[in-house]
Amino acid sequence: MNSWDELLSPYKQAVEELKVKLKGIREQYQKSSRHTPIEFVTGRVKPVSSILNKAARKKISFDCLEQDMQDLAGVRIVTQFVEDIETVVDLIKKRTDFEILEERDYILEQKPSGYRSYHLIICYPVQTIHGEKKIQVELQVRTLSMNFWATIEHSLRYKYSGEIPEEISSRLMRASEAAFKLDEEMSIIRDEVREAQRLLMAKHQQQNIQ
């Protein structure tokens, strides 16, 4: 195992464990035929090339990496509606298997790029063969619409090595506003969507019984 594998191994374990735990919440909601605030969960350990880029950009030395780079492990929770974000954050805050270190509400206050998401930095205990190791994990909670925008913007940022041309930046700002409006519209028709989901769930259950 090289030193990167060794360093990142507990982060990999944390991502896998948290994915299982958060998907478990989703399943519990589904089994109880209630609207699930979690649409899907993804997670990743930051690739070494991205770690090196970010470390150079933020002037973080190798020794301070684990302390200063809070998103070596990242888990993303995607919701259907903006209201679900609060439900998810409340569920996360009630948990006793990790501690919350920081919260960043980029929904109330979006980033200058137009980025919206709710971030929580948690301190997660991983059981290793050398004992318990507490590591930081970044949880990003966002709607499908916020995720759509962030995914496209992220790939453009990558394509242009962080220097997105002015014209594309303003288009992205407009797209971010459209994504915000889409979230608003979806919230308004949320009750209808919920009712449709309830009927669909009941139909599936009936089909399973037959």
List of residues contacting ligand 0O2 (CB under 6 A): 46, 50, 54, 71, 104, 111, 113, 115, 119, 150, 153-154
C-beta of 54 vs 194, nearer to ligand 0O2: 54
- In this complex, which beta carbon is closest to ligand 0O2, that of residue 111 or of residue 203? 111
Angle in degrees, CA 86, 92, 98, rounded to 5 = 155
For residue 195, the minimal CB distance to ligand 0O2 (Å) is: 33
| Minimum distance, C-beta of residue 185 to ligand 0O2, in the bound complex (Å) | 22
> In the complex with ligand 0O2, which residue's Cβ is closer, 75 or 82?
75
Lay out the sheet containing 118-128: strands in order across: 40-45, 73-79, 131-143, 118-128, 99-105
Question: Considering only CA atoms, which of 129, 176, 155, 144 is closest in space to residue 36?
Answer: 144
Beta carbon of residue 127, minimum distance to ligand 0O2 (angstroms, whole number): 26
Distance, CA of 206 to CA of 113 (rounded, Å): 47
Contact 92, 156 (CB under 8 A): no
Whichever of 175 and 201 has its CB closer to ligand 0O2, that residue is 175
> Residues 102, 138, 167, 184: which is the catalytic one?
138
Q: Let me know if 86 is a catalytic residue.
A: no
Which residue is listed with tokens 């929580």? 120
Query: DSSP label at 189?
Result: T
Alpha carbon distance, N-terminus to C-terminus of the chain:
52
CB of 6 to ligand 0O2, least distance (A): 21
Residues forming the active site: 138
